[in-house]
């Protein structure tokens, strides 16, 4: 059963004006916006239905890691996607779709974000946003996707170091001023709407690849390491190993991309 909602702030309602959002569920505090959106999707929520929370108490990222969302400091929202038949062949691109939406919005503020493959957004060397895409299946067919996005907007949203597996930062710290949370949400959703129309085209892949963090640098993913060359057609990561081999890597639940300063010994 979907939890009882809270009346949304007027600023949030104004920020969504003109966007393709048929319905909004807003919570002052909730466990996880993705959990609510998944249940809502199973109950028939329409394409672009939106769940927004001011605070998450059980937010999560990839591999079930906790996502820290204190009140009045971050963005925590989930979009219900009803994939078209064509989009069902590209479900693996939807996490990048969310990340590209965030990156495009931050660029609109004059910042220079990078996407840490496959689903994080960095400013400098710090993670400011993460994306978690989860599917709803029926009879072996994906009937819906939920794309959850968290953004550390204000400095107070940055989690304690012991809760993170990668250095975290905030939009406020890099911008040098406090941005409007709901204004940033509008920018992100607007960019996502624009990129969705180009999801399966070369332009989408090129836009994602051009924003890749560590491109041309030494990186490690699980046991694999090499120079990050770019992306394959399906969004997989392409490395050049020490032996000169081109290695194509898919996202692995417990493996995270990291920059390294030299090839490991015996590689």
Q: What is the pLDDT of residue 160?
A: 84
Average pLDDT, the chain: 92
238 in the same domain as 107: no
121 in the same domain as 16: yes
In Å, the largest CA–CA distance within the chain is 60
244 in the same domain as 128: no
User: 209: burial class by Cβ within 10 Å (0-12, 13-18, 19+)?
Assistant: middle
- The residue ranges of the chain whose pLDDT is under 70 are 59-67, 252-255, 263-267
Which CATH number covers residue 14?
A: 3.30.930.10
Q: What is the pLDDT of residue 1?
A: 86
Q: What is the pLDDT of residue 88?
A: 92
254 in the same domain as 137: no
129 in the same domain as 28: yes
192 in the same domain as 71: yes
Q: What is the pLDDT of residue 24?
A: 98
Residue 102 forms part of a structural domain? yes
246 in the same domain as 144: no
Angstrom distance (rounded) from CA 163 to CA 153: 18
Which CATH number covers residue 248?
A: 2.30.30
Angstrom distance (rounded) from CA 110 to CA 184: 13
Residue 1 forms part of a structural domain? no
Q: What is the pLDDT of residue 223?
A: 86
Residue 266 forms part of a structural domain? no
Q: What is the pLDDT of residue 62?
A: 53
Q: What is the pLDDT of residue 168?
A: 94
Q: What is the pLDDT of residue 134?
A: 94
Q: What is the pLDDT of residue 253?
A: 58
Residue 265 forms part of a structural domain? no
């Amino acid at each position: 059963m979907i939890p009882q909602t809270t009346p949304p702030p007027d600023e949030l309602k104004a920020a969504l004006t003109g966007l393709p959002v048929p319905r909004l569920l807003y919570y002052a505090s909730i466990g996880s916006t993705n959990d609510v959106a998944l249940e809502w999707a199973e109950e028939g929520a329409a394409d672009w239905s939106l769940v927004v929370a001011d605070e998450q108490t059980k937010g999560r990222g990839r591999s079930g890691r906790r996502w820290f969302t204190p009140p009045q400091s971050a963005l925590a929202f989930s979009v219900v996607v009803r994939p078209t038949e064509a989009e069902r062949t590209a479900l693996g691109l939807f996490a990048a779709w969310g990340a590209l939406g965030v990156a495009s919005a931050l660029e609109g503020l004059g910042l220079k974000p990078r996407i840490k493959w496959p689903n994080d957004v960095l400013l400098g060397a710090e993670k400011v946003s993460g994306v978690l895409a989860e599917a709803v299946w029926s009879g072996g067919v994906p009937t819906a996707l939920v794309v959850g996005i968290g953004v550390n907007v204000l400095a107070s949203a940055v989690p304690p170091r012991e809760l993170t597996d990668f250095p975290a930062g905030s939009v406020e710290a890099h911008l040098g001023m406090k941005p409007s949370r709901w204004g940033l949400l509008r920018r992100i959703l607007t960019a996502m709407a624009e990129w969705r129309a180009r999801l399966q085209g070369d332009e989408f892949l090129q836009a994602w690849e051009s924003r890749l963090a560590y491109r041309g640098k030494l990186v490690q993913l699980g046991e694999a390491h090499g120079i990050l060359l770019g992306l394959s057609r399906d969004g997989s990561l392409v490395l050049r190993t020490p032996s000169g081999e081109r290695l194509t890597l898919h996202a692995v639940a417990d493996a995270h991309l990291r920059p390294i300063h030299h090839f490991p010994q015996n590689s």
